[in-house]
């Protein structure tokens, strides 16, 4: 994630309520998240998706927010506290080479990787860590910005996800994004 990481100060713009005009988090995530879920927000930044996820999981759910930048996590903590949602959220600063989420293996119902894979120095490792964290029935919503990621590059990203065990469920219609819903593709054997 150190190759080209979104500057921390841009996090304020990315979390702007105006963005909801073309990318409404509740509309995007609502079909995938249920009350009581444990969800993972990879590259959470300042919480444009994390805070709505915390509302969707309810009081008995949990949102694990992971970002490589301490300033992004600090901003998210402030916003979560102000919104009264910090109690159902966990905040983690990861390293550029690993999400450091091995303690979550097999516990995540839903993961979101929104506009982050193109910043990862090792997409295969990133997908492998997310895959291990997901439950057997777990799903990942993968979305990359059309302005930064070509269709060809996104196809390569999908291929990388499939190489670690993900299966494509369907396309997801998200403005200004290449998006797919993936399943962990695990079996209970």
Averaged over 48-72, what is the pLDDT? 95
Tell me, yes or no, whether 107 lies in a domain.
yes
pLDDT in tens, 156-168: 999 999 999 999 9
Distance in angstroms (rounded) separating the CA atoms of residues 154 and 142: 10
The CATH number given to whatever domain includes residue 160 is 3.40.50.150
| In the predicted structure, residue 96 carries a pLDDT above the cut 90 | no
CA angle 91, 96, 98 (to 5 degrees): 75
Domains: count for the chain: 1
Containing structural domain, residue 144: 43-183
pLDDT, mean over the chain = 89
Block residue for tokens 């990315």: 14
| pTM, full prediction | 0.89
| In the predicted structure, residue 177 carries a pLDDT above the cut 70 | yes
Tell me, yes or no, whether 59 lies in a domain.
yes
| In the predicted structure, residue 189 carries a pLDDT above the cut 50 | no
Averaged over 120-125, what is the pLDDT? 95
Tell me, yes or no, whether 31 lies in a domain.
no
> Distances in Å between the alpha carbon of 10 and those of 15, 45, 48?
9, 9, 12
């Amino acid at each position: 994630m150190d190759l080209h990481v979104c500057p921390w100060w841009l996090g304020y713009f990315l979390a702007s309520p105006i963005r909801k005009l073309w990318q409404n988090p509740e509309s995007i995530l609502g079909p995938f998240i249920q009350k009581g879920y444990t969800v993972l927000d990879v590259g959470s930044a300042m919480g444009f998706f994390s805070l709505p996820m915390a509302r969707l999981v309810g009081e008995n759910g949990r949102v694990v927010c992971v970002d490589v930048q301490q300033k992004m996590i600090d901003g998210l903590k402030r916003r979560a506290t102000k919104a009264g949602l910090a109690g159902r959220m966990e905040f983690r600063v990861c390293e550029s080479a690993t999400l450091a989420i091995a303690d979550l293996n097999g516990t995540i119902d839903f993961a979101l990787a929104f506009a982050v894979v193109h910043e990862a120095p090792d997409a295969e490792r990133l997908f492998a860590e997310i895959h291990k964290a997901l439950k057997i029935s777990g799903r990942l919503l993968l979305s990359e910005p059309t302005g930064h990621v070509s269709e060809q590059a996104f196809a390569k990203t999908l291929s990388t996800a499939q190489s670690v065990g993900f299966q494509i469920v369907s396309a997801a219609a998200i403005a200004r994004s290449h998006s797919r819903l993936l399943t962990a593709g695990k079996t209970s054997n």
